[in-house]
Structure 1
């Protein structure tokens, strides 16, 4: 929200400086985002009188001028402008001035042998327009020596503030002036426009078909107008806040949008078909050309203003080109309506239309201001364009916005932390327009003014029935409603000054601060760091993707005809291809790998810690860390590069589980990985028959092709929620055996279909008191073995603790290992 200081003073009687005003705005909650002071940049530029302008002796296109700036010193200035002449008044920049257009610092110098002690400027050089055909030619009565910006009225500052969504009243200059007056920076001027006499019946009347979306609308016509450029004062007001003047009629509506926060619209009566303007819902197939040049196809959820033939405006958001005013307009009809904020917000978002009117209507405007605003706009149109006014046409009625709110004085100190006394608090509320209804020693009850629809009392809400119905619906759903007492407390605290609220530290719960991360969060971070340390790049991606892509990632154990749950489909996605909550972060990483491969980066590793969504319940959101490798392994001087395989992914998954405290001996491998993995090159890591810890393997070739990945791709998914938290144990003295461990190798002949994991598990359980580790170090399948058989070689580590083992004891342990493996797998020891 922007406003100039002179515009503010049309509503606020004050002697406060710009610095005092901006400081007060910050302390009362209207944060100043910036102050534009054109006068400061133009202060060094003075009005000068050209005493003499003659041809430069050494240049055909230059003129040597003698210039007076009113200080008694005649200066020599070389000028290249074609309109430089004797006797004219111009704008002169003295040495040391900075030219706004290009930042050049003016200095005394010589141009072709003639001294130049300044620069006479064009409008473009001063940043005041695009005219660069010559220097600024001022009227003959311009005072010599005066600062040009001050004389031209360009020295006032423009302030921009940020407005929170609840403060629709602060989107008006009068609302800002009211807050400043309440804060003690002046007096709010009265606003009571005199009624404009009605001369003739209104040529148009309102028909209200949707009272819920528009409870009240008024309007009147003005005939005999002459539309053209608005006067300079009005153009200057609009230009100062960044608006482009169009014509007098349109400029009046823009003026009141900012002045009172009251959007208006004008229709050219000659262009309206029929004698009625209807406020109704849009119909299928209807469209209109908006003032921004965009064709808008309205829907049945939009409120429109239509004549007898077509839609003329999207109500509360933007008017149409067809009925807009121009130089030929002779009779105009002023629209002043009250619209439902929710309807306006949804329509504006639906059609991606942004306007000053929408910004105000969707926050809620003053429901009692309509008659006064219509009178003020009518008077200004007649003043600027001439003409006479018709009778007022209206439909609907002013809604019952009246309500009350109470403030207990003890809450000022108890909740607000302020020592403000009751009289000061009541005085602030009165200056803001809250009229006291009753007061005692404990509390005050006030009538909430019509322009503060953000403060809801126990009575009917502003702009009923829509907001009242919404409040009742929220209450029926069990939603908590904010009490108006907190709103009143906020008002008295901010007007007193938010900077005056003392800073109070939160109480210290414990002398030793608790851990900043929960054990679950710490383990999740550790899992991600393990994969990052193994050469993967950390990624953060969206939690949603295309529903067609999601269909390629069925969860473990799902049916063959699985489809993504409809409950996880987004109703309002940020993009058409991001409409489904993802079933696994692997889908997002594969898309990222595909984009990298398309740009020449096919060998990479990616890791993401994110959520996998199975259903809409909290339990259906799984915490998963996913690692993906594509292309070839990194090249090394001691090892040739090779394509990544399923064992790389298995190693990644086991490394994460080991870091999380899952013992390797407790992990088993099954081959029932989901369908997006290669069926023969993947597996599931389990702890027991039911608990799935991780999935690993090579991505299915068909899916790789669909995702645009040409080379090998492997992945692992570790389900962090399935990993049990380690039990808290007292720190024990570490066991440091005094005896050397010893190793024995065993080679078994076993069916090729038997997993090596079965042999490893059987060997570990043969003698738990002595066996500390069992590892597979060789697998052989060749023509010297029986058909369907393979040779698996195990290395077993024995750790004696009480004494060195004898040969007989070692042989006994070896016999137990062979017997256990044979019993569990049918394997036989090779000779």
Structure 2
């Protein structure tokens, strides 16, 4: 919203300077975005008179002018066609900066003649686009007067222009009077009385008006005949140009002026082009019209239009039609003032892609009470500037009553903001803003003015009081000690998610973030369901919610391989979806490794990845979550996307896997453009039980044995399909107190080193058992006793036998 300082003074009686006005606007929530002050650029410019002129000896189009200014007489070279003796204009002295070019004026020689200073055009001073000649001031202009003062006194646009940002909830400040009202309420002056008088009728109108749509509850107008349209007076053109509006003709300029002066859009129709009754109605499919922007628009039944008996005249509240618009030859007009529903105007504007000043105001909420006062102001200005006779009022419908009565406790001002104001202070602020206040102890009734459609509740009233009192006066109060945060602010899921990122990155993996949507073919390969298909996917390749993080990681791996990477690891922490119902989602950690553990070098060949590299990643994260590796089982029951012979699940209870790991099924490698085996894993943090808040007994953080550890080797002949983990678990259970570690160091099938063969369907597993005594050094008898327990436990659980 732009306005000039002089325009503001039409509505606000104040002695405040420009800086004070801008500071107050910012303080009350009307943020000043820019101030353009043309007079600030005119330092070094003054009124001067051309005393005499003579032809330049070396240039036909140049003259040598003797100029008298406040500093005496001087000669300069001028090429303006209107330069003549006796002309009074604006002189730029040496050292002045020309606004249009930024040039610093100095002494110069033009075609051999010394020139000091320059007589300026309006274009050079950035006051208009007119550069055909130098400025001509009236004979009454006093030589030596500063340029800013002289130009302002003679109607040139040098008034400061203020641009403020208007939030969508403040349509009342889309007019200069609304801004003046707010400034007056803030104590920066007083609001001047309204000078608009009710229009007087000279004749009865023959034009009828009707409304048949709820989108336009009231439509009013007056006919003015015998007027003379033409070019607007200088003051009107100057104000419109200052705020970026192009003057068109007096009638159109008046409606534009009132739109910015009062926030009240209006429209004038040339009566010559009207036929029958003018009505506000719903559009009809197949209708069309050409608007003022020279564009043709097709209408549908959801548009609110203004039409006569012959055709559509325009979109209600958005834009009028070209055919019925006011021209310079227009002598009789219908002035329209109506109120349109904001939502209807917004929808029409969006549907047809029209951005207009009228739409901007109506969709935010024009004051419905200005329907008649805005019409009166238009009639008053038209008759003053164009003459003519005014018809009686034509009106259809009723002005809607949008005012709300709000129950208000003034004590809420202090409870919400900390500002300690008396009831009288609060009432005074609300009254200055135009609110109607009825006091009943602490139960007030407050009615918002018609120009404030954004005020609905008591909190809005508190905001208004605070805004005018001053946000800079709101006391800063520290939080009370009992408001300190003492509880953890992260959920267990958030804590484990952050820990997973640190641990996996510490393992040498790079984090990836992939889409939560994947292709249906990928979803089905990884256990997806068709009920997770999106109704309106953004792409055919992103049609389903992902049941696993692996498809996204595998596609990322394929892209990296295509770009030449051969050894890398990726991980992702994100949501997977197992159903369409709320809550059927889970946070999962997934990772993959591709290539080699160690690249080739002079010391040997490259070492390819294997199953145990990805298993190590799984156990590292589970250990970080506090899961003891010796308490876990490794089973083979993995989903179809894993290699059936090179994969496993990690669990305590087979019904609740904590993780899955292994090689990707070879049949899937080509689907993701991968040409080497890929090791992948999926870890389920939320399947791990949370630690107890209060442990039943304290345990030392680290417990080391002061005595020498003892290691013994055992070799067992067991069934070929027996998992080694089962044997190790059986051995560990023989004496949990003494046995600190068990390592499988040998496994084979077939002939032994001595030439003896294992039985059919049998294999040999050899383990190293470490015994760590805590109380005394073990004797041979005690070591043999533990060895016997281990042998018995393994034979009982596995059905195998010790190899002698």
Match of 2:261 among 244, 259, 263: 259
Are 2:479 and 1:506 aligned?
yes
Superposed CA offset, 1:66-100 (max 9, x none):
67472324556677x67596656665544554454
Q: Secondary structure at the match of 1:619?
A: coil
Indicate how the Cα distance of structure 1 residues 406 and 685 shifts in structure 2: closer, same or farther if over 3 A, else same: same
Contact 2:591 2:682 in 1 (8 A): yes
1:380-399 correspondence runs (5 A): 380-384=381-385, 388-389=389-390, 392-399=393-400
How has the CA–CA distance of structure 1 residues 78 and 286 changed in structure 2, closer, same or farther, with 3 Å as cutoff? same
CA distance in structure 1 between the aligned counterparts of 2:744 and 2:631, rounded to whole angstroms? 16
- 1:306 positional shift: 5.5
Q: Per the alignment, in what secondary structure is the counterpart of residue 164 of structure 1?
A: coil
180-189 or 720-729: which moved more? 720-729
Q: What corresponds to 2:342 in structure 1? A: 341
Cα offset, 1:447, TM superposition: 3.5
The answer on 1:769 being equivalent to 2:737 is yes
Question: What do residues 497-536 of structure 1 show as CA deviations (whole Å, max 9, x unaligned)?
Answer: 2222222222122778665645553333222223333455
Q: Does the C-alpha gap of structure 1 residues 508 and 177 become closer, same or farther in structure 2, counting only changes over 3 Å?
A: same
Q: What is the CA deviation profile of residues 119-152 of structure 1, one whole-angstrom value per residue up to 9, with x for unaligned ones? A: 6666665555667x77744456465444444415
Superposition TM-score, scaled by structure 1 size: 0.76
| Contact 1:196 1:375 (8 Å CA) reproduced | no
Q: Distance in 2 between matches of 1:269 and 1:778?
A: 106
1:234 counterpart = 2:203? no
Distance of 2:674 and 2:293 partners within structure 1: 45
1:19 maps to 2:23? no
Give the aligned partner of residue 623 of structure 2.
658
SS of the counterpart of 1:277? strand
Segment drifting more, 708-717 vs 779-788: 779-788
1:553 equivalent among 523, 538, 541: 523
- Give per-residue Cα distances to partners, 1:700-746, cap 9 Å, x unaligned: 89988888889987765544433433334456353122135466677
Q: Among 153, 158, 166, which residue is 1:163 paired with?
A: 166
C-alpha deviation, 1:177, in angstroms: 1.3
Structure 1 counterpart of 2:421: 420
Q: Counterparts of 1:108 and 1:801 in 2: how far apart (Å)?
A: 103
* Contact kept? 2:533, 2:543, Cα under 8 Å: no
Q: State the secondary structure of the residue aligned to 1:165.
A: coil
Paired positions, count? 788
The structure with more radius of gyration: 2
Cα distance in 1 between the residues matched to 2:60 and 2:642: 80
Determine helix, strand or coil for the equivalent of 1:553: helix
For 1:355 and 1:430, the matched residues in 2 are separated by 33
Residue 413 of structure 1: how far off its partner (Å): 3.7
Q: How far 1:360 moved relative to its partner?
A: 3.1
TM-score with structure 2 setting the length: 0.78
Separation (CA, whole Å) in 2 of partners of 1:114 and 1:788: 118
1-structure distance, mates of 2:47, 2:566:
68
In 1: Cα distance, 2:724 partner to 2:388 partner: 99
Whole-angstrom distance in 2 between the partners of 1:313 and 1:367:
20
Is residue 2:158 matched to residue 1:194?
no
Of the structure 1 ranges 606-615 and 745-754, higher mean CA displacement relative to structure 2 is found in 745-754
Secondary structure of the equivalent of 2:16? coil
Q: Is the 8 A contact 2:67 2:76 kept in 1?
A: no
Aligned to 1:34: 34
Partner of 1:727: 692
The 5 Å alignment of 1:327-406 reads 332-345=333-346, 348=349, 353-384=354-385, 388-389=389-390, 392-406=393-407
2:207–2:276 contact (8 Å) kept in structure 1? no
Structure 1 residues 698 and 800: alpha-carbon distance in aligned structure 2, compared to 1, 3 A threshold: same
Q: How far apart are 1:280 and its partner, in Å? A: 1.9
Instruction: Tell me how far apart the structure 1 counterparts of residues 50 and 425 of structure 2 sit (CA, whole Å).
Output: 60
> Out of 519, 529, 533, which is 1:564 matched to?
533
Distance across 2 between alignment mates of 1:644 and 1:270: 89
**Paired position in structure 2 for 1:176:** 179
C-alpha deviation, 1:409, in angstroms? 4.0
Structure 2 counterpart of 1:471: none
Label 1:122 to 1:345 Cα distance change in 2 as closer, same or farther (>3 A): same
Give the deviation of 1:764 after TM superposition.
Answer: 4.6
**Mind listing any 5+ residue stretches in structure 1 that lack a counterpart?**
457-483
CA distance in 2: counterparts of 1:576 and 1:190, whole angstroms: 65
Distance change in 2, residues 1:603/1:220 (3 Å): farther
Distance 1:577 1:106 in 2: 66
For residues 278-314 of structure 1, what are the alpha-carbon distances to aligned partners after superposition, in whole Å with 9 as ceiling and x for unaligned?
A: 422665x777666667776666655455566776645
Residues in 2 aligned to 1:778 and 1:120: alpha-carbon distance in whole angstroms: 104
Does the 8 Å CA contact 2:217/2:398 hold for their aligned counterparts?
Answer: yes
- What's the CA shift for 1:430? 2.0
Give 1:337 deviation, angstroms.
3.2
* 1:13 CA drift (Å): 2.0
Q: Report if aligned partners of 2:71, 2:144 keep a CA contact under 8 Å in 1.
A: no
Match of 2:279 among 277, 280, 297: 277
Q: Secondary structure at the match of 1:218?
A: strand
Q: Pairwise CA RMSD of aligned residues?
A: 5.2
CA distance in 1, matches of 2:223, 2:594: 72
| Cα distance in structure 2, aligned partners of 1:800 and 1:108 | 104
**Runs (5+) with no aligned partner, structure 2:** none
SS at match of 1:509: helix
